Amino acid sequence: MLAAPIPIPWKDAKKPGLHGVIEIHETDFHNQKKRTSDLFVRDVVAIVNKKVQNYSLENGNVLREVTHLMLHGMPINNDYCFKSIIPDLAGSSPRLVAIAQTRWNGSQHAIAMTLFVATLNGKTITVNCLSSDTVDYLKRKIQDKEKIAPKAQRLMYAGKYLQDHHVLSDYYVQEGSTLHLSMTMRGGQVSHRPAFQTFADVSNRSLITAVEFSRDAPEWRIVSKGVNIEGRCKNSECHAFRHMVIIQKKFMPFNLMLDDDIQCPMCFSKVKPLTCGLYDCVWRFEGVVVSDNLSICSPWRDAKGYVYHRFDSTAKHGTVEWKSLLMMVKPRDAKNAKLLLATVSSPIESQDMCTICWSPFNLPTKCFTACCGHNFHRQCFNEWSKWCKANKTRPSCPVCRQTN
């Protein structure tokens, strides 16, 4: 269950600044007949989309469609488990932002078109849509006709699989185009999750060891940019048996308690996560340690240089029992990396990003500098502060979480 309503700021994809903040409640999912633990990001997008559309129709002749969510500025796959990106934390820092596309307004018209979709059983169906519609919207139109859930659909056009958050015109889909529908494969079983899990103490930076790369490293010790999870393979038939193997999560968020895709890269058997390492990225964590049951988090930190930044922990040293742990990473070469790592106020450049809405400042837009020194669109900070005031909480910086 959702312990409290989840606030989600939302914005237009092509405009800077927030439009507002909506709330997700437990009761919003009753019609879907799902437990919140079974929700995908796609389910949440559908709820947010409905609320944004209601707002749009009440406040002007504009039809908007929410296409995806961003977590600290990184797009989240719609097939990702929603609970995996919502740690059991207190606080009033905006983590998620919903991105909406404008389908139609009073002065602009997208191109209306009829598309053909070739299905697996050999028949072809027709779908009417707009060139500005998203792939996700098209999948929901297909669902109406074929009763196939959007998350089970894969659409191909001109040799490319279409990504949900893109609009059809991005792929040059035109009137009369034929798209090919295939199915995604899903499997697995529900498992009982422990109340806590032992893992490296990522709050202790003294555990980080800079490991040089080696040309002679075995196949199971290959590192990717971003976050890499380590555990010991226990499959006696695997070449990596009893060795610490590396599972590349890259720039995906890692949830210690909920991620069930931690597998040996050699034999694909399940591996218990024990520690992690980072390479060429900025990163942060949010979590709850069992011993004191307090929510803790870090500012964004820099894993720079041609080395592997590994938490050097063992069963007897450098580990803690986590009740909740979420790690997030972003590329170091992103324009906003320097903003995340900033600890003092600096002059704002037009191409710099507001770390609430994740849009460029586009000066001379009015800006706000928080007491911690980080900068935001004034419109974004005002919208977020308005929600915080209504909920009797103090707004905190999304970069360093210092309250303002």
pLDDT in tens, the chain (404 residues): 556 778 889 988 878 888 888 888 878 876 665 666 678 888 888 888 888 877 765 665 566 778 889 888 888 887 788 888 876 555 555 678 998 877 654 445 567 788 999 987 778 888 888 888 889 889 988 987 888 888 889 999 988 889 888 889 889 999 889 999 988 755 444 445 567 899 999 999 999 999 999 999 999 999 999 999 999 999 999 999 999 999 999 998 899 988 888 999 999 999 999 999 999 999 999 888 888 887 888 888 999 999 999 999 886 789 999 988 999 998 887 545 555 555 555 566 666 778 788 888 776 667 877 776 677 888 888 888 888 888 777 777 766 666 65
Instruction: Check: CB of residue 287 under 8 Å from CB of residue 325.
Output: yes
The contacts of residue 147 (CB under 8 Å, 6+ apart) are none
Instruction: Check: CB of residue 264 under 8 Å from CB of residue 217.
Output: no
pLDDT at 307: 96
pLDDT at 378: 86
pLDDT at 33: 59
pLDDT at 356: 83
Bond prior to 9 in cis (omega within 30° of 0)? no
The contacts of residue 283 (CB under 8 Å, 6+ apart) are 227, 300, 301, 303, 327, 328, 329, 330
DSSP run (H or E) holding 377: strand 375-377
State how far the Cα of 300 lies from the Cα of 263, in Å rounded to an integer.
27
State how far the Cα of 198 lies from the Cα of 315, in Å rounded to an integer.
9
Q: Cα 293 vs. chain centroid, distance in angstroms?
A: 25
Question: 11: which 2 tokens?
Answer: 């914005």
State how far the Cα of 100 lies from the Cα of 96, in Å rounded to an integer.
13
DSSP run (H or E) holding 10: strand 6-12
pLDDT at 202: 96
Which long-range contacts does 296-299 make (Cβ < 8 Å, 24+ apart)? 296/203, 297/89, 297/91, 297/401, 298/202, 298/203, 299/343, 299/399, 299/400, 299/401
pLDDT at 173: 92
What are residue 124's DSSP bridge partners?
118
B/e letters for 288-300, b = 16+ CB within 10 Å, e = fewer, are bbeeeeebebbbb
Place of tokens 């139609």: 104
Q: Which amino acid is at 9?
A: P
pLDDT at 190: 41
Provide the strand spans (E) within 158-294.
160-161, 178-183, 197-200, 208-211, 226-232, 244-250, 254-255, 275-279, 281-289
- Give the 3-state secondary structure of residue 282: strand
Instruction: Check: CB of residue 207 under 8 Å from CB of residue 317.
Output: no
pLDDT at 93: 59
Instruction: Using alpha carbons, list the distances in angstroms from residue 364 to 34, 331, 349.
Output: 46, 27, 10
Q: In the chain, where are the structural domains located? A: 1-109+342-404, 112-183, 197-331
State phi, psi for 179 to the nearest 5 degrees: -105, 150
Question: 78: which 2 tokens?
Answer: 């719609």
Alpha-carbon radius of gyration of the chain: 22
As a CATH number, domain 112-183 is 3.10.20.90
pLDDT at 60: 58
Instruction: Check: CB of residue 156 under 8 Å from CB of residue 170.
Output: no
